[in-house]
Amino acid sequence: MAHTPYYLIDKSKLLRNMEKIAYVREHSGAKALLALKCFATWSVFDFMSDYMDGTTSSSLYEVKLGRAKFGKETHAYSVAYSDDEIKEVIENADKIIFNSISQLTRFADAASGIVRGLRLNPQVSTSSFDLADPARPFSRLGEWDVAKVEAVMDRISGFMIHNNCENSDFDLFDKMLTDIEDKFRSLLSRVEWVSLGGGIHFTGENYPIDKFCARLRAFSEKYGVQVYLEPGEASITKSTTLEVTVLDTLFNGKNLAIVDSSIEAHMLDLLIYREPAKIEPNTGNHPYMICGKSCLAGDVFGEFSFENAIKVGDRISIQDAAGYTMVKKNWFNGVGMPSIVIKELDGSERVIREFTFDDYVSSLS
């Protein structure tokens, strides 16, 4: 058994998401690409690839990882490509999606041998965080002027449109897709494929998945396009925990428990978006603030209720710890980086990666 902290990926829970993705693929005709910016733990790619069509990326390294470890379709997207990486991006991609008309113009000839696309920005989104809102004022993410896009239609065969963020509301998705149609109708009918990006929480509980499939199929048939989805969180939601151990307890107006992990180092999005972690069942008469071990004063997982008083040595499982965690983990304070463990379908657990002092040293210079 691995020493805590470690990320525990449960394949039986991951399978539930994969089966829902497979259902959507079958009943909507859409293809599903894993968004590597959210989850890139390639030791489960062989498992996931049976249920998905490939990967989509945000950088050269993600493109190369998708090609090498996942296989199948490899979509390349970046906010901006540099001259010294474009050749390698093209060598590892089936489709390349440009963020702007200027990047498309600059690299269209170099990318003439693969499928080319352009990102559109419908200027509306579901994001409640300005930091993550692709349609925020003065956004650099995609083109929105139809006339300008029409002038380069001979250079592309598809679009990527990403404006959903943690959207679990089908009616809102439907409304925004209608808005996309209203804005870009003249363009949609002239391309072969359209990616609707990620952020659609269609693998969540009680999501009206049949309505979702019907809406995607209707969109596909109306414009004669292959629809792509880019599930990140939807692929891995509720599949993984961060296993930690209590190192100390103290009282400073509230009961505190310090664990052998850190939100800044191991679950950075909690800090960025000022959101609490999830602990289940979160019931009982013993409230505690669960704190990280770094020296950052605000390194706090959140406040939770427990059935029993917490003591040193107790194990705690932080829920829903797959998305935007392992891809963002860092060496702040030199805090030991969590191992990565897979729980197989038969219940056995396998340590697939442990990080050592040598990894810490080699990440610096």
Task: Compute the distance between CA of residue 67 and CA of residue 324 in angstroms, rounded to an integer.
Answer: 20
Residues annotated in a binding site: 233, 269
Using an 8 Å Cβ cutoff, are 2 and 338 in contact? no
State the burial class of residue 39 (Cβ atoms within 10 Å of its Cβ: 0-12, 13-18, 19+): buried
Residues annotated in a binding site for substrate: 233, 269
Using an 8 Å Cβ cutoff, are 97 and 117 in contact? yes
- In whole angstroms, what separates CA 175 from the centre of its chain? 23
Q: Return the structure tokens found at 346.
A: 């038969």
Sequence-distant (≥ 6) Cβ neighbours of residue 257 within 8 angstroms = 246, 248, 249, 288, 289, 290, 291, 310, 314, 316
Identify which of 239, 172, 185, 181 has the alpha carbon closest to the alpha carbon of residue 211.
172
Task: Compute the distance between CA of residue 238 and CA of residue 91 in angstroms, rounded to an integer.
Answer: 35
Identify which of 322, 156, 167, 294 has the alpha carbon closest to the alpha carbon of residue 237.
322
